[in-house]
Amino acid sequence: DQQVKQNSPSLSVQEGRISILNCDYTNSMFDYFLWYKKYPAEGPTFLISISSIKDKNEDGRFTVFLNKSAKHLSLHIVPSQPGDSAVYFCAATSEGYGNKLVFGAGTILRVKS
C-alpha cells in the first residue's frame, strides 16, 4: 500500500525553465511534508518542507505547494539549473505516525543545458 506516490518516474527540463515535481498521498494523518534531493552515491539531502497549516513555502528557487483537499503537493524549481539534476523524493510524516518518514518512489530530474 503506497501511501506516498510520485507518479512521474522522470522529468526532463531545459535549463532556465521551471521544473514541477508532483506527489500524492493517501493517509489523512500526514501533516508534514518534505522534499529530499539525492545525487548518485550520496544519501538524500533535505531540501524544503511544508506543514499542513500552510499551502505554500518558499526557499530561494524552490517552492512547495500543498493542496490538502486533493492530498497533493508539488515542488517548483525556478529557474532550473543543470546542478539540479538528481532524484527527488517526496516524504510525509506526522506526530501521530511517530514522525517516521514515508517516502515516495522518487522522480529523476534531468536539466538540459
Which residues are at the interface with other proteins (CB under 8 A)? 4, 6, 32, 34, 36, 41-46, 49, 89, 91, 93, 98-106
Report yes or no: 86 and 75 within 8 Å, Cβ to Cβ. Answer: no
Helix (H, G, I), strand (E, B) or coil at 52: coil
Closest CB 15 distance from other proteins, rounded Å:
27
Closest CB 9 distance from other proteins, rounded Å:
8
Nearer to other proteins, 38 or 68 (CB): 38
Nearer to other proteins, 17 or 54 (CB): 54
Closest CB 107 distance from other proteins, rounded Å:
10
Nearer to other proteins, 79 or 105 (CB): 105
Nearer to other proteins, 44 or 63 (CB): 44
Q: Grid coordinates in use for 81?
A: 539549473
Per-residue DSSP letter, 96:
G
Closest CB 68 distance from other proteins, rounded Å:
19
Instruction: Please choose, from the candidates 109, 6, 5, 106, the residue with its C-alpha nearest in 3D space to the C-alpha of residue 61.
Output: 109
Task: Give the alpha-carbon dihedral of 46, 108, 26, 48, to 10 degrees.
Answer: 20
Report yes or no: 76 and 20 within 8 Å, Cβ to Cβ. Answer: yes
